Structures are given as C-alpha cells and as structure tokens.
Structure 1
C-alpha cells in the first residue's frame, strides 16, 4: 500500500501542525500553530497555516499536511469560490469532488478547516465535507497531529468559557504543550 493509498484510507497520522476552528455566538475563529517539521527536525517555527481567501477575504482556511499540497488546495478552493459566487459550502463540495476523483489532486496529502460567516467545515481528500456537531452552543473542529489534544481541550474549556477566541487559543496552548509537532506561535483569524 502506497503512502497515498494509506492517506486515502485515513491511515497516515498528520504530523507538523494543529489547526482548530471554534464557532460560538456568531463568531468563528480558526487558529493554527506555526511549526513546520521534517521528520523530527523543526524546519520553520513561524509558518502561516491559517489565511484568508476568496473575494474580500470572507473565507478563512487552515491546513494540516504537506505545505505545497495545501497551497494547491487553497488555490483550487479560491477558484471554486469564484465559480460559485462566494458560496463556501458549494465550493467546498465541488473541491472535494475534484480532490477525490482527479488523478493529480487525489495524491495531495492535506486536510483543511474552512469557515465563512455561515459555515465551519472540515475538508478531506476522501471527498468528505464534514460539518462538526454543535455541543452546548459551540461548534469545534480540529485537525493535524495535535488536533485531538486541541479538540479535547476546547470541549472542556467550552463548558465554562464563551469567547471562541479564548477557547481556540487555550486549546492551542494545550496542544503545543503535548504535541511535539505543534508549537506556540499561533495565527488566529476571525470570521
């Protein structure tokens, strides 16, 4: 089984980053760390893995996985947003269709969290457009090597904290303390 086959079946753990999305009270925050690792070596500590895309920067996207692959997906998502009048859900569905079926795209090794004023989504190369479930008024999604740590921390924090930015940044601190592929140089974007 090749790395691409393993990736397509969810068997490769994503190393090198943590991205979290938190939506509460009409605000959505996407935060990501800045560490780029090659094996066990930190190659860069301050990469921007969360950025605004689309017309007017109305969509925020964060990626986990191979950097070049993520940039390809950012570009493709921007084109889909243009084609579909800025409708994120429709653009995301069309991107994941292409991602799953196109020979070139299906070999890309990345995951994405994307958000606009109405949606918080996780996109995968398996053709998934996942909309995380709301729990107690908060929607949380996390990806990457520290994603499970950030997700667990954010769920616990959201029981007593209502500010989505505080939830996201505290969860990223927990992930950075536990995951060796995640650092504390966090980029935060708000929708």
Structure 2
C-alpha cells in the first residue's frame, strides 16, 4: 500500500528555501549580505503587477539591492493614489533612483477582467475601473482584434502607457527628470517566452 506523503507546508517551504538561499549565497560570497545591510542603493524603481509569474529580480537577472519595487494588481498608477505616489516620492526623492520602469505582462488577469463588466466586488471594481475606461475609450480599436488574448494584450499596453504618463505627473518625478535626468520606461513581459518588450511611451 502506497503511503501518503503530506505536501510541504507553504510557509515551511519559504523558510527552508530562505535557509538554502542564504547558505548558497554565503558560500559564493561571504561578504554578500554585509555589502548592502546598512543602506540600499538601487538604480531602478520597478512598478509591476502582483502576479506571481512576474518577479522583477528574477526576470531581469538582478540581485538584492538593485531594484526598488512597488507591485499591485495590473501595475496601476493613479495620480490620486497615495500608495504609488508615496513610493515615487521616496524612491525618487530619498533613494535617488535613476530609472523608473512600469511593467505589464501578457495573460494579465486584471486586463482580462477589464474586457467585461462583471461585478468583482467593490474593491476590485474600483481598482480596475481605469482599465475598463481604457477599454471603453479604445473600443473601436479593440473590436478589430480577433481574440480576447489580443484585446487583453492591447489593454495591457494601454495601461502601461497610462501609468507611465501618471508617473510623470508626480511632482517629485518631474523635478528629478528636469534636475538630474531621471527617465521613465514602459515594458511588457511576455510570460510564454520570458522576454521583456519596451513600449513607446513618448508623449
């Protein structure tokens, strides 16, 4: 009789994985963690989606300390939203990042939900309303696309461009763009290929 082996608890898996990560890292470089223990010096602020398939440090082959991160559902940046704007103020004004990236991705659940008007509950309805507004304002263009995948992808692109525009509307960002050459970029991550694609976000 085959014995049932219970699955590893996910929290225990995280703790075990952390120990393995720390051990491997210290074996390769005993001073690695000490190098950024006192202060972070990331060059990039990454604004991405909370989707578990799009971990910014992994897909960019970056190390801890290189990217300052803000993630939410569908990488939305609103001009009146305190969370994203607080991150912008701190990352740009205090940490002094040199680049800002807004990154969407293919197969985005938020973009897919924005193609319709299903009731997702008060919080999610409010959160993805900007994407639904994008859908409505570009309905003619979207109707010409043959599949929901392509329509969802176009909403992803439009949303990245919208969020980049809203990032540039932040006063701290504007000051840094004028004063020290801060730049803002829009990417889309293609999950099936694992590759990033830069979008034209020039105004």
Give TM-score, length-normalised by structure 1.
0.27
Which structure would you say has the larger Rg?
2
Compare the two structures and name the one with the higher helix fraction.
2
Bigger fraction of residues in strand = 1
